[in-house]
Amino acid sequence: MSQVPVWFERKFDFSFPAELLPNLRARLRGTPARLEETLRGGTYEILAKKAPEKWSAQEHAGHLLDLEPLWLARVGDYMVGSLELTPTDLQNRKTDEANHNWHPLEEILAGFRAARERLLKRVDGLDPSLFTRAIPHPRLKIPMRLVDHLYFVAEHDDHHLARIWELLNEAG
């Protein structure tokens, strides 16, 4: 039984100051390295091991890659002043259908690193006033500033890193 809280049951507090943006950028920039460090050296049997109706450690890594286009689209929503953030597929069909266990781990890790770099480059080039612009989140039904969105992405990263860590520890 996982000790990692269920993602869709999480509540978020976005009352922190926007001045924490540099910390969030550093956290997001570090995710590829933390993911690589966690997974490298694991055997295919351990990384691809699945419980019924659950993702393997490698599939969790693939899921992080799968969501990078969503995060980038949402940054675009702030840039154009959308009325609501781009919605996601709450069933995660992209990850379920991607067969990440059949892709080389190095391909997933390199893809994630490149995608995260694209996201950070986009964020780094934005006008500072955009980071406090608020747009409603489609699932949470609350306004999120761009800085909140980046916190949400960092929390999502850490959620899956914690689950990967847990799976690898269970495997021995």
Position 89 scores a pLDDT of: 92
Residue 66 CB contacts under 8 Å (≥ 6 apart), including other chains: 92, 94, 95, 98
Question: For position 165, which CATH number holds?
Answer: 1.20.120.450
pLDDT one-digit tens code per residue, 44-91? 999 999 988 899 999 999 999 999 999 999 999 999 999 999 999 989
Is the Cβ–Cβ distance between 70 and 157 less than 8 Å? Answer: no
- Whether 10 is in a domain gets the answer no
Residue 94 CB contacts under 8 Å (≥ 6 apart), including other chains: 66
Position 5 scores a pLDDT of: 87
In degrees, rounded to 5, the angle at the alpha carbon of residue 130 between the alpha carbons of residues 141 and 148 is 40
- Whether 5 is in a domain gets the answer no
Position 172 scores a pLDDT of: 67
Q: How many domains does the chain have?
A: 1
- Whether 14 is in a domain gets the answer no
What percent of the chain has pLDDT above 90?
89
Domain that holds residue 88: 26-171
pTM: 0.96
